[in-house]
Structure 1
Amino acid sequence: MVIAVTMVNVQPGKERDFYNAVKNLENVRDVIHVFGEFDFVVIVEAKDLAELNQTVDKIRGLDGVTKTQTVIGAELE
């Protein structure tokens, strides 16, 4: 299991469209509209890195997306 956080910027006026589209993507566990450097924080949970990459690519391809940054979580043992 891989958990990642993808921060997303969207074009002004596209926030609602992005939110409605991203919340329905497979592997997206939560979407939070934030204020600051990014517009949204998207929590992604996938079975492996390949599936994570596919989901992030889908997020990047959504209408209005201008920038993403993804960080991947790791368990401390």
Structure 2
Amino acid sequence: MVIGVTMVNVAPGKEKDVYLAVKGKKGVREVYHVFGEFDFVVIIETSSLSELNKLVDEIRGIEGVTKTQTVIGAEI
């Protein structure tokens, strides 16, 4: 299992559309609307790193998404 946290910036006025599009994707566990440098924090859970990369690419392709930044979680 691979856990990723993707922070997402969205064009003004596109927040609801992007939220609904991201929330409906397989592998997205949670979506939080946040205030600060980013608009959303997306918690992703996939079975492999390549699946996580594919899902982040899909999120980047959503109309209104202007920037993403992803960190990968690992067990210690």
TM-score normalised to structure 1 length: 0.98
Gaps of 5+ in 1: none
Q: Which runs of 4+ in 1 moved over 3 A?
A: none
Separation of aligned partners in 1, 2:59 and 2:22 = 7
Separation of aligned partners in 1, 2:71 and 2:53 = 12
Query: Which residue is 2:65 aligned to?
Result: 65
Gaps of 5+ in 2: none
1:69 deviates by: 0.1
Separation of aligned partners in 2, 1:58 and 1:29 = 15
**Superposed CA offset, 1:39-77 (max 9, x none):** 00000000000100010000000010000000000000x
Aligned length: 76
Query: Which residue is 1:53 aligned to?
Result: 53
The two structures, once aligned, show a CA RMSD in angstroms of 0.3
Query: Which residue is 1:9 aligned to?
Result: 9
1:2 deviates by: 0.2
Separation of aligned partners in 2, 1:70 and 1:20 = 19
1:37 deviates by: 0.3
Counterpart amino acid of 2:16? Answer: R
